[in-house]
Chain A
Amino acid sequence: MIHIDNLVKRYGTLVALDHLSLDIHEGEIFGLLGPNGSGKTTAINCLLALLKYDKGTITIFGKEMRPDSYDIKQNIGVVMQNVAVFDQMSVWENIDYFCGLYVKDKERRRELVEEAIRFTGLEDFKKMRPKKLSGGLLRRLNIACGIVHKPKLIIMDEPTVAVDPQSRNRILEGILELNQQGSTIIYTSHYMEEVEQICSRIAIIDHGQVLATGTTEELKKMIKTGETITIEAIALDEDQLAQIRKLPHVFDISYEEQTLKVRLSSAKHNLVRILNYMQEHDIAFGRVFSELPTLNDVFLEITGKELRD
């Protein structure tokens, strides 16, 4: 559905997109994951032909995307990172206005607006002005304005920034529902849990480059970490830590604030081996957790750093 090839965007000497290439297929929820400033929004703006780029090509629905590609734009819905609504118009008027930029038929528009209001749970706020809405409701209005015309492709640029957990869950559920209704979705975020929860395929980008692409499971398989074991231990000396580091499949450990974190490659009986060592050496320990790798681990291993907020 979307093919981005070798995209380069420079701001003076700063390279915002560095030969970025992506393929997004119909029916996917495609996650663009990266820290702030990694190039996600720049890529989206290039994709929407809002931003000029220095090199590369972008095709959507098999056609080159240009600023005057109105036939392509007809089938795209955009949920901007910043809320983009008119403060002087009510919730209903805003949704109706943005719907009207795509749909001319008045009756059809009315149906679509009502549907979008139901979908985003804004029934009780139709007549309210945006300034009277909470942050979560405002984000929902922003989404309603972007998806009201039932586009084939929806681009959501960090739609859950500064949203309370309840609204966030509702938004995420809504995105899954839109996807089930047939829309392809591009979802950018720096919240890994969200991306992991809803995206069928993910691209990790940093410094304007795609570092890895795949499903969550595929990405997790790309890294060494198969399991992370966390143990509350009161006192561990350097010798003990060195011995734990030498245990089979352990490739990284850290010990901070009486918490031992051991990262191991995927193997059977990892936890048993570590606990046996603790007992054999009479090391007192408290709670024990074992976690499978997360996208955070993937990001950490691929980029060598935590995902910045």
Chain B
Amino acid sequence: MLFLFKYRFLQTIREFSIMFWALGFPIILGTLFYFSFGTSIEAAGETEWDEIKTAVVTEDSSSENAKSFEIFLENMDGELLEITRVSSGDEALKLLNEDKVTGIYYVKEAPSLTVGKNGLDESILTSALDSFNQNSAMVRDVLSEHPDRLPAVLASYGDYRQSVREETLGGKTLNPNVQYFFALIAYACLSGVFLGVRASFDTQANLTALGARRSVTPTHRFKLVIVDMLVLVTIHFADILILNLYVTQILKISLGDDIFSLLVVDLMGSIIGVCMGLAFGSISKMDLGMKMGFSVGLTLFPGFLSGLMFGNMKNIIELHCPLINRINPAAVLSDAFYCLGIYNDMERFRRCILILAFMSILLLFSAFLGVRRDSYDSI
């Protein structure tokens, strides 16, 4: 078995064209993504923050609450907000109408906010005001008893970048470009199809002379298929690890901190890619060129549905036909990466892994059915 493994391994890794599609192409694609999106690509949780332009109108600063709010706003100026102080409400509204500011804070006994539209920045401004109101009593106490500690107190509940990011964990990351990299790795996993299809040819006597030669030996055909699968999964797993290293270490895209789970999803991705290839290669009756052509579609189309070409595609499908996202291996893989890198949802992650395992078993069984025929009608 080890002997068969060794030679199949050597034979596969030396086949440049197949290795290119399985490893080289995803790396090139990732690099192109990186350069296309420029410096905006950073891992979720490390996103560049644009300060929100905000107008502040002081209507009445005599009350303690208004004073506290003034200090609160000053504390956030230059961090979360870019504050423009204006003397009148009309002037502030003019700025708002001209889209020069996102919102207007009114400093008074009961601070208020006016925004022009609905959006993420507007939500942040609202959230900031709500947070101040909820904690205003404590702020007043600190202000009266330990005014020197006020900035620290305000900072402790004023990190809206973090809170807003956590609120988006339902699938809308602050940087949608990261989605492309999850879809890319999912696509790379499915590229195992090329390895599987190519290998299936060497087992089928009706397609290649090599298949015929291997079929007339006393080595059981299932053994050959199992060895093929083990070799291909090993190689493809290594491909995906290399791609992960490239994405995380060279392109500096974070895929999460849970390395073990990441390895699990990489392994499952490799298995399902290879099994898809073995199943497709074994069942269909096309020649090698046709099968390779279809393999491109077999990897790119699920990749497209999972957001490889259009980042929001997966969310659109989730809204209109979520079943596709459950059975599309690229979408399930992408979802598993999300669970690790963004959601931190281990239950959902486990569900993804189970779906992938189930699909792999089905595909491998199909591959066995395809090659189990002992002799052929024509060669």
Contacts and interface: CB of A to CB of B under 8 A. Distances in A.
A68 B374 contact: yes
A46 B215 CA distance: 13
Contact of A50 (B7, B11, B218, B376): B376
Contacts of B375: 49-52, 67
Contacts of A86: 7, 11, 210
B11 A88 contact: yes
B36 interface: no
A109 to B, nearest CB: 9
A132 to B, nearest CB: 14
Interface of B: 3-4, 7, 10-12, 14-15, 205, 208-210, 212-220, 374-379
Nearest to A66: B374
A83 interface: yes
22 contacts: A50-B215, A51-B375, A52-B377, A66-B374, A67-B374, A67-B375, A73-B218, A78-B212, A80-B213, A82-B209, A83-B209, A84-B210, A84-B213, A85-B210, A86-B7, A88-B11, A93-B10, A98-B213, A100-B4, A101-B4, A101-B219, A145-B213
Nearest to B206: A50
B311 to A, nearest CB: 38
B218 A74 contact: yes
Contacts of A73: 216-218
Contacts, number: 83
List the 3 closest pairs (A to B, CB-CB), nearest first: A67-B374, A84-B209, A88-B14
Task: Name which of B3, B4, B15, B213 has the most chain A CB atoms within 10 A of its CB.
Answer: B213
B218 A70 contact: yes
A71 B219 CA distance: 10
A73 B374 CA distance: 13
Nearest to B18: A88
B376 A52 contact: yes
A208 to B, nearest CB: 14
A198 to B, nearest CB: 23
Given A83-B209, A84-B210, A76 B216 contact: yes
Contacts of A85: 210
A74 B15 CA distance: 30
Contact of B209 (A68, A74, A80): A80
Nearest to B12: A88
Contacts of A146: 213
A191 interface: no
A127 to B, nearest CB: 13
Nearest to B210: A84
Given A45-B212, A84-B210, 7 more contacts: A49-B374, A52-B375, A83-B209, A86-B11, A88-B12, A101-B217, A102-B217
B4 A50 contact: no
Contacts of B378: 11, 51
A50 B10 contact: no
A32 to B, nearest CB: 17
Contacts of B205: 50
A86 B374 CA distance: 23
Contacts of B374: 49, 66-68
Contact of A97 (B7, B208, B220, B377): B7
A89 interface: yes
Contacts of B214: 101
A93 B379 contact: no
Contacts of B15: 88
Interface string A1-12: 000000000010
Contacts of A84: 208-210, 212-213
A305 B15 CA distance: 47
Task: Name which of A50, A73, A82, A96 has the most chain B CB atoms within 10 A of its CB.
Answer: A50
Contacts of B376: 50-52
A89 B213 contact: no
